[in-house]
Copies of this chain bind each other. A is one copy, B any other.
Amino acid sequence: MKEDDALQAALRLAVDPPGGVSIGALRELARDDDATDWDIATTAAHLGVNPHTLRYYERIGLVRVARDAAGHRRYDAPAVRRLVFLIRMRTSGMPISDLRQYVDLVDAGQDTVSERLDMLLEHRDTLRSQVAHLQLALAATEYKIATYQEAPRP
């Protein structure tokens, strides 16, 4: 029981991150601005990815992107929102094949909602065990750091 409290405390502390994701960018993205209309370089910069990656994602069918008169990509708010979601899933470990499957389900309409939900539930479980694994590694690393710091030669 007090074991449990200590765990909670340890986890809460381990979670508190100096140097995480750019909050400003997230806020700006969440603003859901209907005036959003970015070129590929701007979009890539805001999302923190390579422009090549955005073209690649379009090429493999993860997003459809509008073009201007010159044939250049224009990213509006819905496109950016989808990309934010996709990139978040990707960078948290979901493979591209699953993302393909997911967007195919979305495109297939409302009757695929339960399948999508299943995918999300599964990804949630994956995320949870990833977090647990990383926290174990973090604790082990901190332990080793402590042994190095307290005794010059352990």
Contact = CB atoms under 8 A, between A and B. Distances in A.
B129 A17 contact: yes
Contacts of A127: 134, 137-138, 141
Contacts of A92: 133-134, 137-138, 141
A140 B150 CA distance: 40
14 contacts: A4-B13, A6-B10, A10-B10, A14-B128, A14-B138, A15-B139, A18-B132, A19-B128, A21-B129, A85-B144, A113-B152, A120-B145, A124-B142, A131-B131
A41 to B, nearest CB: 24
Ranked nearest first, the 8 interchain pairs of A and B with the lowest CB-CB distance are A10-B10, A17-B132, A92-B137, A14-B139, A7-B13, A20-B132, A6-B9, A127-B138
Contact of A19 (B113, B129, B148): B129
Interface of A: 3-4, 6-7, 9-21, 85, 88-89, 91-92, 110, 113, 116-117, 120-121, 123-125, 127-146, 148-150, 152-153
A29 to B, nearest CB: 12
B144 A120 contact: yes
